Amino acid sequence: MLQETIKNDLVAALRAGDEVKKSTLRQLMTALKNEAISLKRDLTEEDELGVVKREVKKLKEGMAEFEKADRSDLADAAKAELQVLEVFMPAQMSDEELESKVKEVIEQVGATTAADMGKVMGVAMKAVGGQADGGRVRNVVQQILS
């Protein structure tokens, strides 16, 4: 399970004195525990991955805000934390793989116009299984349907 890997990495970070990795992994462990408490059950691997994705998204949004506010020090800190968390994300699909998967979904759903984008997006996001960002999927769907 992902939590075991995170715990092992946290122990290694503690021993190495890596402050950024240590604090980032502690935040992630807290987020995982909070998710388990809110769901009132043990987390599945899919649940764990969802928490990691949510934390990555928060960091990316924060990094964008920091850059917009011209706070490069905070943006760099968020980028360092992001690098720690991206290790736990699934490998991302190449553009060609993503396009192929989206075309399959479009055929499966029977979509023909941009008005069918909502139907396609839900199925496509499940099909890529976290191996592509929602923005990338949306762009490919828009390209194909328009």
Across the chain, mean pLDDT equals 89
The pLDDT of residue 1 is above 80: no
Residue 110 confidence class, pLDDT cut points 50, 70, 90: confident
pLDDT tens by residue, 40-59: 999 988 889 889 989 998 99
Query: Domains, the chain, ranges and CATH?
Result: 2-86 (1.10.1510.10), 95-145 (1.10.10.410)
Q: What pLDDT, on the 0 to 100 scale, is given for residue 146?
A: 79
Q: What pLDDT, on the 0 to 100 scale, is given for residue 83?
A: 92
Query: Letter for the amino acid at 69?
Result: A
The pLDDT of residue 94 is above 90: no
Residue 6 confidence class, pLDDT cut points 50, 70, 90: very high
Q: What pLDDT, on the 0 to 100 scale, is given for residue 119?
A: 85
